[in-house]
Amino acid sequence: MGYAEVRFPENTLFLVTGGAGFIGSNLCEVILKLGYKVRCLDDLSTGKQANVDLFKDNPNYMFVKGDIKDFDTCMNACKGVDFVLNQAAWGSVPRSIEMPLFYCANNITGTLNMLEAAGQNGIKKFVYASSSSVYGDEPNLPKTEGREGNLLSPYALTKRADEEWAKQYTRHYGLDTYGLRYFNVFGRRQDPNGVYAAVIPKFIKQLLAGETPIINGDGKQSRDFTYIENVIEANLKACLAPHEAAGNAFNIAYGGREYLIDIYYGLTKSLGVNVEPKFGPDRAGDIKHSNADISKAKRLLGYNPDWSFERGIAAAIEWYKKNL
């Protein structure tokens, strides 16, 4: 189950862009534990130096400080690499509405730079982070690939554009690309700080500090919260996927559906606190409900997530208790 059975040739080198971030640093950690080599590329604009320093004494790890908006940096980073795991991007729907030009430059042009550099360097597989936000206002549940609605934010637009560019690189330039539509990933090292912080680490930190969290909207919105281990599995299995699956995007989730208000009260119970939340306005660009049909990823990637929300949230709570 998971990625324990995944095997690559000895001395396989992975390039993880955005490797100082939440998802990227976890990918670096697991790849190194499996005995392979990692080159991490990050400009530390949203990633953390502390996440880079975790592996600095590992001889199989190399950190390159650089920006994917610079094509020469991307070319140099791809030299000698077998697989690219492209996680570098700026997240946050609300922030993208405030900064559309930057999101275009970073998330679209940056990814295009990486696709071109990977193609020129003969990379075996190019696996990249997409997002469930590409479903936009499509109302049906579960979310199914090929049934997308109107995009609701510049962030969602950047991820959809990345998918379309990746298809072109598979079609015209012989680069096997695999898009992973992440659904609300959470887990160790996810940053709880800042106005754009993800909801689970933010709630945990606030409750541990005796603060009163604010829930945007009525708390009845639902999400397919996905533990980090499942996302790591998807990235590694995409690197072993057949050529026939290339050029596609895949839902990466557990396939569950959790309501925000239930998560909130579950956290208060687990943390042994009794704090009623405050309720604020809905966030611009947010969708009300989201959960994933993961049958395509199971069929074409061999994705078989074994970390349920309950198992994942318990592990996350323990991590934050020790590390906040």
Tens digits of per-residue pLDDT, 28-38?
A: 999 999 999 99
Question: According to the model, what pLDDT value does residue 9 have?
Answer: 97
Sign of CA dihedral 27, 229, 317, 196: positive
The per-residue pLDDT for range 92-103, each reduced to its tens digit, is 888 999 999 999
Give CA–CA dist 270/130, Å, rounded: 32
Of 103, 155, 254, 320, the catalytic one is 155
Give CA–CA dist 20/199, Å, rounded: 20
> In CATH, what is the architecture of 13-183+228-255+293-306?
3-Layer(aba) Sandwich (3.40)
Stated pTM of the model? 0.96
- Looking at residues 205-218, what average pLDDT do you find? 94
- Looking at residues 304-312, what average pLDDT do you find? 96
pLDDT-derived band at 284 (thresholds 50, 70, 90) equals confident
Contacts for 94 with CB less than 8 Å, ≥ 6 apart: 196, 283, 284, 285
Give CA–CA dist 141/251, Å, rounded: 13
Report the b/e string of 161-195 with b at 16+ CB within 10 A. Answer: bbbebbbebbeeeebbbbbbbbbbbbbbbbbbeee
pLDDT-derived band at 274 (thresholds 50, 70, 90) equals very high
**Which amino acid does the sequence have at 32?**
L
Residue 134 token pair? 């590409």
Q: Is the pLDDT of residue 324 over 90?
A: no
15 DSSP assignment: E
Based on the residue annotation, tell me whether 155 is a catalytic residue of this protein.
yes
59 DSSP assignment: T
Q: Is the pLDDT of residue 208 over 80?
A: yes
Q: Are 185 and 228 in contact (CB under 8 A)?
A: yes
Strands 125-131 and 278-280 turn out to be unpaired
Show the 3-state SS of 161-184: HHHHHHHHHHHHHCCCEEEEEECC
pLDDT-derived band at 194 (thresholds 50, 70, 90) equals confident
pLDDT-derived band at 19 (thresholds 50, 70, 90) equals very high
Question: According to the model, what pLDDT value does residue 4 have?
Answer: 85
pLDDT-derived band at 1 (thresholds 50, 70, 90) equals low
Question: According to the model, what pLDDT value does residue 283 have?
Answer: 80
The per-residue pLDDT for range 237-263, each reduced to its tens digit, is 999 999 999 999 999 999 999 999 999
Q: Is the pLDDT of residue 44 over 70?
A: yes
- Looking at residues 134-158, what average pLDDT do you find? 96
- Looking at residues 301-318, what average pLDDT do you find? 97
Instruction: Count CB-CB contacts under 10 A for residue 147.
Output: 11
Q: Considering all CA atoms of the chain, what is the largest pairwise distance in Å, rounded to the nearest integer?
A: 58
The domains of the chain are located at 13-183+228-255+293-306
C-alpha separations of 316 from 275, 285, 309 in Å: 20, 27, 10
Question: According to the model, what pLDDT value does residue 196 have?
Answer: 74
Q: Is the pLDDT of residue 286 over 80?
A: no
Give the HSE-up count for residue 274: Cα atoms under 13 Å, Cβ half-sphere: 0
Question: According to the model, what pLDDT value does residue 128 have?
Answer: 98
- Looking at residues 148-177, what average pLDDT do you find? 97
* Residue among 237, 223, 244 at smallest CA distance from 297: 237
Is the bond preceding 142 in cis, omega lying within 30 degrees of 0?
yes
Q: Are 285 and 97 in contact (CB under 8 A)?
A: yes
Q: Is the pLDDT of residue 147 over 90?
A: yes
Give CA–CA dist 248/300, Å, rounded: 10
Average pLDDT value for the chain: 96
C-alpha separations of 280 from 193, 213, 285 in Å: 18, 10, 15
pLDDT-derived band at 88 (thresholds 50, 70, 90) equals very high
